[in-house]
Amino acid sequence: MKVILGSLAFCVIVAGVFASAAPDPQPQPDAGSLAADVAGLNRSLRELVELTRRDLEYRETEVLLRRADMKARRLQPLEDALRSARAEREGLDQELAHMGVMLEAAERGIEAAGAKGIPGGDAESLRMKQEVELRRKILQDRAWNLDQKIIDMDQERREASRLIDQWEELIDAKLGLR
Q: How confident is the model at residue 178 (pLDDT cuts 50, 70, 90)?
A: low
Residues 6+ apart with CB under 8 A from 66: none
174 confidence band (pLDDT: 50, 70, 90): confident
Sign of CA dihedral 148, 150, 153, 157: negative
User: Which residues, 6 or more positions from 171, have their beta carbon under 8 angstroms from its beta carbon?
Assistant: 61, 64, 65, 68, 177
Between 39 and 175, the more confident residue is: 39
Per residue in 119-150, pLDDT (tens digit) is 666 778 788 889 999 999 999 999 999 999 99
pLDDT above 90 covers what percent of the chain?
Answer: 36
Residue 12 has pLDDT above 70, yes or no: no
